[in-house]
Amino acid sequence: MVDTLRLTAEEATGLIERREVSGAELHRAYLDAIAQRDPELHSYLCTVEQPDGAGVPIALKDVISTRGVETTAASKILAGYKPVFDATVAARVKDAGLPLLGKTNLDEFAMGSSTENSAYGPTRNPWDPSRVPGGSSGGSTAAVAAGLAPWALGSDTGGSIKQPAALCGVVGLRPTYGTVSRYGIVAFASSLDQVGPIAKTVRDCALLHRIIAGRDPVDSTTVDLPEPIELPEAEDLKGLRVGVPTELNEAEGIEPGVSEAAKRTIELARELGAEVGECSLPRSVEFGLPCYYLIAPSEASSNLARYDGVRYGYRAEPNGDVRSMYDRTRREGFGDEPKRRIMLGTYALSAGYYDAYYGQAQKVRTVIRDEHAAAFEDFDILVSPTSPTVAFELGARTANPLAMYAADLLTIPSNMAGLPGLSIPCGLSEGLPVGFQLIGRQFSENLLFRAGHALERALSFDYVPERYR
């Protein structure tokens, strides 16, 4: 029997190549694991019984269009929607022979940091089901952590891959903006959205990133990779200059246990040969969150204008003219968080407020980009905790949107600058996983994989949740 809790995608590839197990048997083993453990966790919105492909199966966040397979973005307004085309990333994993296990849960339209905003009910953290998995890609990270998928794709706008990867004790990459196609991804904030890999190991992430990354002729914001993705081998960090931004590591709200785990990991980097030094991102952390919560809702308010009940998805029962059909469809179809963000964005973009809000936020974005560029003159990577806290209790932040937004304090600044970030598990605090964030220059994914792999080997974190061992 295959132990899906421990099996990495790389090991699974080996089993298939040596014909010790077939792709279909492997797919069945994961569906069995889902039947066993997912009723408690609810990481999947739907599963697929007999997909094409004989390779290592994969789960896709339900913002990724899959031809003929329901794609809801965890919103009632897309209930029943079956795309008539594949997103480019879905086509690429299909072409690579990876059969689809199913579509994973998320915060509605990827708006949230806990997966509690799903219209279909929350996902629970495999390490402690009374706690959230993080979000918005919490379904994908919970599935990988609980051995319900060897690997998965998520999407990240303000931290939606890195933060749930941290809270579930798995590895997640937010790629450089423009390296992975957004064609066929349900749009949230187009100048920030990126799809990326989630897996148990850094090498698995690199393998999956190699499959999905690269220019796509039908997404004009994508570019050719400057170098091919390499599988990391090195187990030392000799010559690597590691910057520790004070504001990202000493921000208010970082739990002591999280801070200690990150400090130990930084010490480990030094022992592995890295040159470690302090640096500063004074305004990026202070102004990152306000900047993000103007730009992302503004772009969302425009992107979500398409949901009008005419061409696909939910339509309210008509009891009047076409305008009242639009209004009622949107009132009944969207949950609270999309409504809040649509209104915030509509306000920030409206006449008289544009310059003070959206325009000013775009200038703050330049300040954040320049601060990071200055730090990268002295360092090759920047590091910090991924999330200020470990996984919090369900319901703890749902009444206060600003408390929920603060979960992305440490992931947002580099996202605003368009930089790639890798989160790896670096230990436990209060019995729950702590994530360690590595930020690189644009297109430096190979360096992030190399550094993440060396640290991962030295840390020997056991990614199987204690309650399943």
Q: Least separation, in Å, of the C-beta of 218 and other proteins? A: 8
Q: Least separation, in Å, of the C-beta of 456 and other proteins? A: 27
Q: Least separation, in Å, of the C-beta of 358 and other proteins? A: 9
Strand partners, 61: 104
Q: Tokens in use for 27?
A: 């797919």
Give the residue with the Cβ less far from other proteins, 127 or 287.
287
**Span of 2-10, 48-56, 111-119, 217-225 interacting with other proteins by CB under 8 A:** 217-225
Is 282 near other proteins (CB under 8 A)?
Answer: no
Name every residue whose Cβ is closer than 8 Å to that of residue 273 and which is 6 or more positions away in sequence.
236, 237, 238, 239, 240
Strand partners, 422: 173, 438
By CB under 8 A, the count of residues binding other proteins is: 70
Build a one-symbol-per-residue string for 51-80: x at contacts with other proteins by CB under 8 A, - elsewhere.
Answer: -----------------------------x
Give the residue with the Cβ less far from other proteins, 221 or 246.
221
Contact 462, 433 (CB under 8 A): no
What is the spatial distance between Cα 139 and Cα 301, in angstroms, rounded to a whole number? 24
Residue 206 Cα to chain centre, angstroms: 15
**Span of 26-34, 38-46, 86-94, 309-317 interacting with other proteins by CB under 8 A:** 309-317
Is 238 near other proteins (CB under 8 A)?
Answer: no
Instruction: Pick the catalytic residue from 118, 155, 160, 429.
Output: 160
Is 263 near other proteins (CB under 8 A)?
Answer: no
**Span of 10-18, 55-63, 267-275, 315-323 interacting with other proteins by CB under 8 A:** 315-323
What is the spatial distance between Cα 341 and Cα 349, in angstroms, rounded to a whole number? 12
Contact 19, 62 (CB under 8 A): no
Burial class (CB in 10 A: 0-12, 13-18, 19+), 352: exposed
- The residue count of the chain comes to 469
Helix ranges restricted to H, 350-394: 360-378
What is the spatial distance between Cα 154 and Cα 26, in angstroms, rounded to a whole number? 22
Name every residue whose Cβ is closer than 8 Å to that of residue 275 and which is 6 or more positions away in sequence.
239, 240, 241, 242
Dump the DSSP string for 282-338. Answer: HHHHHHHHHHHHHHHHHHHHHHGGG-SSSSSS--PPP-S-HHHHHHHHHHHHS-HHH
Q: Least separation, in Å, of the C-beta of 18 and other proteins? A: 41
| Residues of this chain, 169-198, that bind other proteins according to CB under 8 A | 177-178, 191-192
Is 46 near other proteins (CB under 8 A)?
Answer: no
Is 343 near other proteins (CB under 8 A)?
Answer: yes
Q: Tokens in use for 45?
A: 């919105």
Q: Least separation, in Å, of the C-beta of 381 and other proteins? A: 18
Question: Which member of 9, 213, 242, 291 binds other proteins (CB under 8 A)?
Answer: 291
Q: Tokens in use for 115?
A: 């997966």
Question: Which member of 13, 246, 346, 398 binds other proteins (CB under 8 A)?
Answer: 346
Could you list the beta-strand ranges (E) of 290-389.
381-385
Q: Least separation, in Å, of the C-beta of 230 and other proteins? A: 22
Instruction: Pick the catalytic residue from 43, 65, 118, 136.
Output: 136
Build a one-symbol-per-residue string for 440-459: x at contacts with other proteins by CB under 8 A, - elsewhere.
Answer: --x-----------------
Is 309 near other proteins (CB under 8 A)?
Answer: yes
Is 468 near other proteins (CB under 8 A)?
Answer: no
Is 357 near other proteins (CB under 8 A)?
Answer: yes
Which H/E stretch holds residue 242? strand 241-245
What is the spatial distance between Cα 172 and Cα 282, in angstroms, rounded to a whole number? 26
What is the spatial distance between Cα 349 and Cα 343, in angstroms, rounded to a whole number? 10
Q: CA of 162: how far to CAs of 165, 195, 435, in Å?
A: 5, 11, 8
**Known catalytic residue: 103?**
no
Q: Tokens in use for 264?
A: 């130990």
| Coil, helix or strand at residue 208 | helix
Q: Least separation, in Å, of the C-beta of 227 and other proteins? A: 17
**Known catalytic residue: 136?**
yes
- Radius of gyration of the CA atoms of the chain, in A: 21
**Known catalytic residue: 301?**
no
Is 203 near other proteins (CB under 8 A)?
Answer: no
**Span of 155-163, 234-242, 364-372, 429-437 interacting with other proteins by CB under 8 A:** 364-372
Name every residue whose Cβ is closer than 8 Å to that of residue 34 and which is 6 or more positions away in sequence.
44, 47, 101, 102, 148
Question: Which member of 6, 76, 264, 340 binds other proteins (CB under 8 A)?
Answer: 340
Give the residue with the Cβ less far from other proteins, 36 or 366.
366
What is the spatial distance between Cα 124 and Cα 133, in angstroms, rounded to a whole number? 6
Is 82 near other proteins (CB under 8 A)?
Answer: yes
Build a one-symbol-per-residue string for 382-401: x at contacts with other proteins by CB under 8 A, - elsewhere.
Answer: -------------------x
Is 354 near other proteins (CB under 8 A)?
Answer: no
Catalytic residues: 61, 136, 160
Q: Which residues bind other proteins (CB under 8 A)?
A: 80-82, 84-85, 177-178, 191-192, 217, 220-221, 223, 283, 286-287, 289-291, 293-294, 301, 305, 308-315, 318, 320-328, 330-331, 334, 339-340, 342-344, 346-348, 350, 356-357, 359-367, 369, 401-402, 417-418, 442
